[in-house]
Structure 1
Amino acid sequence: MLSIRNLQVSLGRAKVLHGINASAAPGRIIAVIGPNGSGKTTLLRAISGDVGYQGRIAIDDHDLAQLKPWELAARRGVLPQAATLAFPFTVAEVVRLGLTSGTQADRTDLITRALAEVDLTGFSGRYYQELSGGQQARVQLARVRVQVWDPVQNGMARWLFLDEPVASLDIAHQIGVMRVLRRFADAGGGVVMVLHDLNLAAMVADDVWLIHDGKLLDAGAPVQVIGGSALATAYGCPIAANQIPPDGATFVLPHGLWA
């Protein structure tokens, strides 16, 4: 279980998060949504252990602030919004960085398996800087995956914390990444990801956290949060969530574009 209690974060003199309380269970995908500047990335950085905070964050009742770096690396993998490499690494070398950060550094076979998982078979010898933005994003996901390849290890659920993992991907690869995350969660791992695509959030998430002005404005099933009135409040524009047959999947359609 991921538990967040009275989470407050200040960056410089600005208070970014204001007393957030939330929890997430393994085996589920949580989509964090909200407008630009609402605090989504800061929330993800806090639960990843990458930014200072007040309050309490716990993974499996272990206080995040008390975990050693290697203990934290064994429990979660983190995909930031952007990653820049200053030196010419091959794709395999980039993915290997995740392998050496985790608990299975000897499992070099995972590099090939992770690249296949993100549709990059045969790319291991290519230079990272020569790839497109979308391909680089998938290499970074493969890096995170090899760090926490097994969703459950020694009876302990592991987590993926992802900031906009499909922002630069075409629709086919967006769906491919969502399938990877779904399999990870279905096998007992936990996923918390920041998403701007509300349709994807409605399609894949088990729970949605709606962040607005550094506060948790709403939380619950997609049909509740994305279909509720809080969404329009958060984004400051009329938004309607509708359902289409045959399976009743929720989709989002902005209204008033020409008003």
Structure 2
Amino acid sequence: MSALLDAKGISYRGGGRLLVDAVDLSIAGGSFTIVIGPNGAGKSTLLRLLSGELTPAAGEVRLHGELLRSIPPWRLAHSRAVMPQASDLSFPFTVFEVASLGAEGIGRGLSRSDRQRIALDALALADVAHLARRNYQTLSGGERQRVHFARVLAQLQAGRTVETRQVLFLDEPIASLDLKHQLALLETAKSLARDGLAVVAVLHDLQLAAGMADDLVLMQGGLVVARGRPEAVLTPALLAGVFGVDLIPPALPPSPWMLAPDRSRAAGAG
């Protein structure tokens, strides 16, 4: 498949150090790409560069073959949606109003009732339709996360009336969720990828990454050290080198992760 999103040699500095170092990455439509790696590897910074939130100090990012930095914000809003790690709202919006923000000002030929339907459909898909009238500020962290997932789903749906080749960026989208909703959110993302969307997510859970990703990107120290199918990336040697711990990779389909026997016994000895 041809690349929908293409990064060439992108680098970024912050806090006096190189956070992303000369990364090349192409993302095709219809793919679910998951970025993994230890804390400080540059995962979230890479996502922000790919989405256009940050401008690379070197290299370039292209979306639909166009330089990302040259695409007007209104067009970019139709082509990609971003769910960050945390989103704070200081106003007493209802859950429905927060989801509706995703569809406001997005799309072509949509009536007010169309936008309301899009928001309600997104809330249902994120399993928060029953909270539609609740004050967002009264929700738990996991409920708020699902509301923001509904917001980006609404943005994509409204944006599809202008641009059908879209990218969804998810930065640690399951961090606050219980297991049921972790799986549900990732299954929804996987389904969107099967329908042609390009989905790029940052995850810490290696087992879920192994089971969900079409393509894994393993980062360390701002570099992409491996990329490919989960079985090619999640090898004992790579995991030991990057995470500094011996892990037994899961069989595919995934089996539970566990410490290698020698480390497991050592951990239990104390």
TM bucket normalised to smaller: over 0.9
1:158 deviates by 0.5
Report the alpha carbon displacement of residue 156 of structure 1 after superposing the two structures with TM.
3.6
Give percent identity, aligned residues only: 37
Match of 2:37 in 1: 34
Q: Deviations over 1:51-97 (max 9, x none)?
A: 12121111121110111111111100000000111121111111111
Q: Aligned in 2, Cα 1:3/1:174: closer, same or farther, shift over 3 Å?
A: same
What is aligned with 1:254?
A: 259
Gaps of 5+ in 2: none
Q: Which amino acid aligns with 2:233?
A: V
User: d(CA) in 1 for partners of 2:154 and 2:160?
Assistant: 13
Counterpart residue number, 2:7: 4
The answer to which structure has the higher helix fraction is 2
For structure 1, the residue ranges without an aligned partner over 5 or more in a row are none
In the alignment, which residue of structure 2 is the partner of 1:48?
51
Contact 1:152 1:189 in 2 (8 A): no
Match of 1:226 among 215, 221, 234: 234
Of 120-129 and 136-145, more deviation after overlay is shown by 120-129
- Equivalenced residues, count: 255
Equivalent in the alignment of 1:85 = 89
| SS across alignment from 1:99 | coil
The structure whose Rg is larger is: 2
Runs of 4+ in 1 over 6 A off after TM superposition: none
More strand by share: 1
1:209 partner SS: strand
Question: Residue 93 of structure 2 aligns to which amino acid in structure 1?
Answer: F
- 2:61 is matched with 57
Query: Contact 1:30–1:193 (CA<8 Å) still a contact in 2?
Result: yes
Judged with a 3 Å threshold, the aligned counterparts in structure 2 of structure 1 residues 156 and 24 are, in CA distance, closer, same or farther, namely same
- Contact preservation (8 Å) 1:151, 1:185: no
- TM-score, scaled relative to structure 2: 0.90
TM value normalised by structure 1:
0.93
Secondary structure, counterpart of 1:119 in structure 2:
coil
